[in-house]
Amino acid sequence: MKVDILCSDQKHPSWEELARFCEERSFNLTDRAEFLSGGDFLFLVSCTKIIGKELRDLYRHCLVIHESDLPSGRGWSPLAWQVLHGESTIVVSLVEADDPVDSGAIWWKSELELEGHELADEIASKCLKVKMELIDVALRFSAKPEKQMGAVTTYRRRVPEDSELDPHKSIAGQFDLLRICEPRFPAFFVFRDHRYEVTVRKT
């Protein structure tokens, strides 16, 4: 069985852990869609690229792992948005890749539980464990995928400005924003006409 996994960015906090998972199972991991050549399964994991039908059709199954209770929360950075909104139980959906984005039939759903103290790398690691379980589910899946039902909501793409802290507010009041920021999208604040980046780590 030929299994490819596309993750958009080698700088993603869970890239190395995902690479070990793929190596153990002889899956092919890449961050570039042009390196994909077809096979049995293509999994889109933390993938910010839109994969067209022509490429999807090279695979028997092309599946997206998306961190929301679809059809609620289609779009970009659903995990970050939900943590920012104070959610601690995150549904992770395994769905067929289709047009429009995140609209495909649902294969399976699982849950990610957060305790409220995790920083970005810990959140990514916990979420990846759920995603890896869903990949294993897909490879032995025998039920019929179900069409998405319910109200559709969509998250917009996060931009660097979304990581801005207010220097006049407390750390406690902005902790959920601070803890979802990571090196690709660092937290920052502007004070006395200068911009300062903020890094937080556990000790």
| Residues of the chain above pLDDT 70, percent | 100
Tokens 């903020």, located at residue? 198
Which positions ≥6 away from 148 have C-beta within 8 Å? Answer: 70, 71, 95, 103, 104, 105, 106
Strands 74-75 and 59-66: unpaired
Instruction: Give the pLDDT confidence score for residue 202 in this predicted structure.
Output: 93
pLDDT tens digits, one per residue of 9-59: 888 888 999 999 999 999 999 999 999 999 999 999 999 888 999 999 999
pLDDT tens digits, one per residue of 77-134: 999 999 999 999 999 999 999 999 999 999 999 999 999 999 999 999 999 999 999 9
Instruction: Give the pLDDT confidence score for residue 183 in this predicted structure.
Output: 86
Peptide bond into 13 cis (omega under 30): no
Domains defined along the chain, listed by start: 3-154 (3.40.50.170), 159-198 (no CATH)
Q: From CA 73, how far away is CA 92, in angstroms rounded?
A: 11
Listed residue (83, 68, 47, 77) closest to 185, CA to CA? 77
